[in-house]
Each structure stands twice: as structure tokens, then as C-alpha cells.
Chains A and B, each alone.
Chain A
Amino acid sequence: MKKFLVNSIIFFFVVVALLVLGLILPNQNTPRTIDYALIKKHELINTEKRPKLILTGGSNVLFGFNSEIISQQTNKPVINHAIHAGYGLQYIIDDLLQQNITKGDTIILAPEYSHFIGNGRFGNEPLLFSLTAVPKNIKLIRLRQLINMSSFLPKFAFGRIKSFIYNLKSKQQPSASSSKKNYTEYSINAHGDHNTHWNLGKTAFDNYEFTGKIDNGALEMLQDFNARLKTIGATLIITFPSLTQSSYQLNATTIQKIHQRLLKNDFSIIGQPKDYVFENTLFYDTPYHLNGKGVLKRTHLLLEHLKSHHD
């Protein structure tokens, strides 16, 4: 038994050492993933001294707006802070609150529906990618987020070793085409919107179906966020993510329940979930990532909703 235990423990530590190696290896990807765009987004928020409008949420927001148009129409600087729904609502909010949010700022949040279901608000694998890009955000991570992430840790660490070896072998150099690629740190415009896909056609994608129980914790999280913003003198406005018709049909009951629960709380809400349900041709590569035409439609819809909200 002793021999078995000793061998098992030694072997376990060999595997753990490999995992640690994966976590500490430098990221040599060129260009780096979209997660690194968060660094630029932080810069945009923190250098803007005027009252600003910040769009945030998951990738439905990253792929959902033309902030330049919103900026022209509202006469305010607009920054798109969103990256990935998989970061979880908790991290998205905590990360934003770390930035320069001041009196007069408006935060337009379009939380993903998945954030209200199960433990979606705590994030999963993409959170690991974000922490690699912005290591100082480790201090924001709470126990529940850590638990959610932990099951992805081995695959993530080995994935990093794999990409490190691959990069050593291929010795990638940044090229002119790097800036045109999707999902990289260079795929965003001066406002933080993902724009390299705006002129690309629709690709094949499956419907999106979310399953699980609605989690009231996400609503409490939004209430806390609202209260925090109020103390700063900023405003929170909640809107809804874009979705294809077919995906909406699949999830209509859950979406209506989420909508009802949001309405029961004291939030400023613009539009209704159905308003942001568009035909499939307006989407790019998922049932919630809009293409160029879809971006324009949603942007103008948001401006209309904002106008009627202020009126």
C-alpha cells in the first residue's frame, strides 16, 4: 500500500508540475486573442474624462453595436467594454467597477440570458483566458468563480503548453493580415466594438438553447451593481441581447420569465427581449453575434429606445 501511495503521489505531482508549467508559460500567440482587447478597453475608459456611455455585457454586446454612431447621436464618448459571456456577470461587473466610472456616466448593460441560468453568472473557461490577459484581475475572483473555473484548469494549462510549443515551431510574426482577423486583440475599433467581421457574410451555426433553472442571485447582483453606480452618481440602463428568431422560439418561456423578474425590480429597462430578435440573415457566426447589417439595425434600435427612455 505504501509503495502504491508514494508512487501515486509522485505521479500526481508530476502532472501538477506540468499544469503549473502550462499556467506560467508566456503567451506567444501573434496576434493574441480577443481577451487581450480588454486592456485597450480599460485604457479607453480610464483616459476618458467626460461623462461617457459604456456598453457592457457578453459577446452579444461586443458584436452588437456601432459605438461611433451612438457617440455621434448622443454627443457622448461611447466605449464598448464587453468581451465574452463566459466571463460571467460577476466578473464583468467587478471588472467595470475597477475602472474610472464617474458621476454622469451611463452604463448600458445587456446581460446574456445564460447569466440568469444555473451558475452562469460566475463564468467558466473564458474567465481563465481573461485572467491570463489581465492577471491583476485575479484579485476580483471569488470562491464560486474559482470553483466554476477549476474544472477547466487542466485543459486550459495543457492548451497553453500546446500553443507554446506550436508557436516555438512556427515562429509566427505579426503580419498585415493580423489586424483583419476576427477574435484577436486587433479586431476592435477605437470604441471597442468588434468590427473586423462587419463586411463578412453569415456562416453556418446551430440554434442556441439554454437549459437550467433561473437563478435569482443574478438579479441580486444587478441590484447591488445598480446601488453601487447610484452612489457614484452613474446610471445603469438594462437592455436585452440580440438573438435569432429560431433561438428565441426555443427559449421563449425562459426569456419571458427572466424579463418578468427584471421588471419586478427597480431597474431602468429599455426595450423588450422580443425587440432584439432579428432574422437569421442579420447574424454572423452564432445566434447572438450580429453582422454589419445587424449591428446597424440594433444600434439604431438602441438609440430609439434611449431617446424614448429620456423623453
Chain B
Amino acid sequence: MLFNSLEYFIFLPLVFLLYWFVFNKNLRLQNALLLVVSYIFYGWWDYRFLSLIVFSSIIDFYCGLYIDRSNASTVKKRWLTLSMVMNLGFLGIFKYFNFFAKEFVAFADHFGVHVNTFTLDIILPIGISFYTFQTMSYTIDVYKGKLKPTKDPIIFFAFVSFFPQLVAGPIERATNLLPQFYKKRQFNYDNASDGLRQILWGLFKKIVIADNCAIIVNQVFDAPEQFSTVSLCIGAVFFAFQIYGDFAGYSDIAIGTARLFGFNLMQNFAYPYFSRDIAEFWRRWHMSLTTWFRDYVYIPLGGSKGGTWMKVRNTFLIFIISGFWHGANWTFMVWGLLNAIYFLPLLLLNKNRKNIGGIAQEKKLISLKELFQIATTFVLTVIAWIFFRAASLTDACLYIKRIFSASQFYASEINIKPLAFIFILILVEWYNRAQEHGLVLNVTKITKPLRWSLYIILIIFIFWFGADKQEFIYFQF
């Protein structure tokens, strides 16, 4: 079920009413309801893949219990290995098998060896990378003793499949989300109404920003040879906003929805395009994945505790793995590699934690220096996004080569209407850059009629300027 579909707008109020009015007396029943509706939400797309989530949940539930029960560290390790093999095995089969099979054939062909291999005719189950990482964090935390395993299968299964964040995150940590299933949820008016505002802002970002940018981006990236330098630059910038609107929009809807049910999910985006350097960008972009890699890969590898070589090696590893997490294509790996290269000077000069405070704090305007830093970081990320969006490395190189053909500086032949929407987005998010999301309103200062007018204007914007419904990009990851 898509967040931007009519089905969801029927589903959500129905679940809300059942949750707070029918099942509110009993916490266990409330959790059971969340489990059932989460499976309905996922099964709406393809019920057959529910079996994968159920299987994965069963294995991790028991792995968690057995890790906790075992005294011997070798036994604990065995259960952890089982969980890792199973989770990464699913990812490997569904997401990476065909890529490796094809690359192996190409590699052998290169040396004149003809290998017959086969590829699997399978589709990628939506959200597999997200829920797999979530359950892996559970077993790892139990193994490390950071978390007591749950003995309640309903709670665990609901934690794995919690519908607001099941298919595209935020990738929740068991230490944050699991305890919330144990506590009796109290309805909080301010939290719920702010959740609705966050949903509205997420829909604006998805439908008005991302879907409108997608039209131009598809045109330009499908046939870059037909477009001028100006159009190609605009196309790349639009992709930067498309992926932000799409993914941050999804996260806003997910977090807002969870708040309606009394859950607090972690912030996933903190206005990343206002970052002053690439290190800050990565602290603000897809935070749930970045911190996952930091905690479960970077730190166990030694993090930045070792010498310079170890820091550099670990940083490159993290970025390349992060690229590969997005999909089985060299383009994602080059995207990760580019970001690692951007990051390297900051790391070597020990300036990667220079910009950890807010941007232009307690000031309305920004200094010229900060503006230059933000613009430079943005340009760097846009160049990397070209690799992320292109169908192949050849296409990405062709795109960049076309940008630098000097004779191509004629007026743009593409529709630049989304620029106006992007301007609104930047303005609103700049104003609220210190807040959790772009539409946080001070309800004591802004009167109700004014607030409602603002909501209506946003709804009108969504319907007037919203492009045709498109799937969320991150579903494919």
C-alpha cells in the first residue's frame, strides 16, 4: 500500500479508530492489531512475500532468545551467525544474486573463459533491505548484551513489521522501538496533531516536489544527448530534490503516522542540503542507515581509534558498502566511493566534526562563508547523485561529459516549473531548520484559522500541482 494512495487514506483512519477505541483497553490486543494491520499493509503489495517477513521474524525471535539463554560464547556466536547468514542470505538471493552471476560471466569472458550460469527470475521484495537491517540490529544488540530479548512473539513480530516504517524506514533500532511496544500508549493531542502536520509536509515533498521533478529527471537522464548543458545541470539538481522529496517525504509520513499511534521513530533527515561540508551532510542524510553502519560496521572494524590508514580504510569500506546497500549496480558503488573521496580531506585534516552545531543558529540569515560552504557541498552531492541515478557508469560519464560540452550553453528546453516548488521547500525548511520537521508550528503564536488556512493551501498545492502518482524511489532498495 502506498502512502500517497486512496487506499492508505481509508486504511489509516480505520486503523486509528480501531487502535484507540476498540483495542485500547488491552496492550497485547493493541500490539496484535498493529501486527495484523502491518501484514495487511505489506500484503497489499504482494501477500506472497509476507512469508519472507514471517520466516525472518521467527528465526530472529528464536536466535535472540537462544543467544540470551546460552552461557557459552561459542554457542551465542553460533546463534548470531545463523541470524546473520539467514538475513544476509535473503538479501544476497533477492538483491545481489543476479548481479554477481552476470559479473562473474563477464569477468570470465574477459579472460576468454565461457561460463554458463543462470540468473533468477525473481522480483525484489519491497523493503527487504530495511527490515533485514532492523532485525539484524536486534540480534546483534542482544548478542552484545545491550538489549534483553523479548519473549513476546507478538511484540517482536510487530516490531519487525511495524507498518509506518516497514518498507522504507527509518531503520529503527530495537533499543528504541521495541521498548515502546511494552509501554501503554497514551494519546497525546499535541503529538498526534504535529504528526498529522508532518504527514502533510511529507506528502507535499513527495507529490509536489519529487513527483514533479521526476518527470524532468526521467526525460533528461533517459536521453542526455538530446539536452543542453543548462538542461542537464537542471536535471541533476532536480534529481537531488527528487530523491530528497521522495525519501525524506516518506520518512516524514512514516514518523507522522507512528506518532498518531503513540510511537516515536528516529529522525531520518535533518535538512541535509543545508550542510556545510560532506561530513555534516552524512550526519543529516538517511540518518538511520548512516548510524546503523557506524554502530554495526564502522566501530566494530576499529572506527577511528586506530591509525590514519585504518580510519581511511574503514571510511572507504563504509561508503562503498552503503552504496552497495542501495542496489546491485556499479553506479551505487561509485556513488559511495565518490562520497568517501569527498570525505577524505576532512578526515585527514581532522575536520570531519567541525560543523556539528546548527546552521546559522539564532540568526535569520546566513553568512557569505556559510552560503559558499553550503553551495559547494550541494554541488558535490549533485555530482555524486548523477552516478546514483544513471542506469550505468557509461551513462553517468556520458551525462557529465555532455555537461562540459562548451557549445551547449543555450537556453533550457525543459520545464522548470519545479524550481518554484523547490524554492518554497527551501524557504519553509530554512525557517524550521532547527525543528524536527519542516511544518512544526508554534501553536501558541499562530491562530487556528491561520493554521488551517496553511493546511488547506498545502492540500490545494498537492492536488493542483501534484504530478501523476509515482512509486517511492527507496522501495527498490
Residues of A within 8 A of B (CB): 1, 3-4, 7-8, 11, 14-15, 18, 150-151, 154-155, 157-159, 162
Contact = CB atoms under 8 A, between A and B. Distances in A.
Contacts of B192: 4
Interface stretch (B125-133, B388-396, B453-461): B453-461
A162 B466 CA distance: 13
Contacts of A150: 6
Contacts, number: 31
A42 to B, nearest CB: 30
Contact of A151 (B6, B189, B456, B459): B6
22 contacts: A1-B20, A1-B187, A3-B189, A4-B189, A4-B192, A7-B193, A8-B196, A11-B455, A14-B452, A14-B456, A15-B456, A18-B456, A18-B460, A151-B6, A154-B463, A155-B463, A157-B463, A158-B460, A158-B463, A158-B464, A159-B463, A159-B464
A157 B462 CA distance: 12
Contacts of A14: 452, 456
Contacts of B189: 1, 3-4
Nearest to B187: A1
Interface string B434-467: 0000000000000000001001100110011010
Contacts of B455: 11
A15 B187 contact: no
Given A4-B192, A7-B193, 4 more contacts: A14-B456, A15-B459, A18-B456, A151-B6
4 closest cross-chain pairs (CB), A and B: A158-B463, A151-B6, A1-B187, A162-B464
Nearest to B459: A15
Contacts of A151: 5-6
Contact of B187 (A4, A154, A158, A159): A4
A4 B196 CA distance: 11
A151 B6 CA distance: 6
Interface string B182-202: 000001010011001000000
Interface centre among B189, B460, B463 (most CB of A within 10 A): B463
A261 B464 CA distance: 41
Nearest to A152: B6
A158 B5 CA distance: 16
A86 to B, nearest CB: 13
A3 B192 CA distance: 11
Interface string B280-302: 00000000000000000000000
Contacts of A155: 463, 466
Nearest to B207: A155
Nearest to A156: B463
A135 B172 CA distance: 51
Contacts of B456: 14-15, 18
Contacts of B459: 15
Contacts of A11: 452, 455
Contacts of B6: 150-151
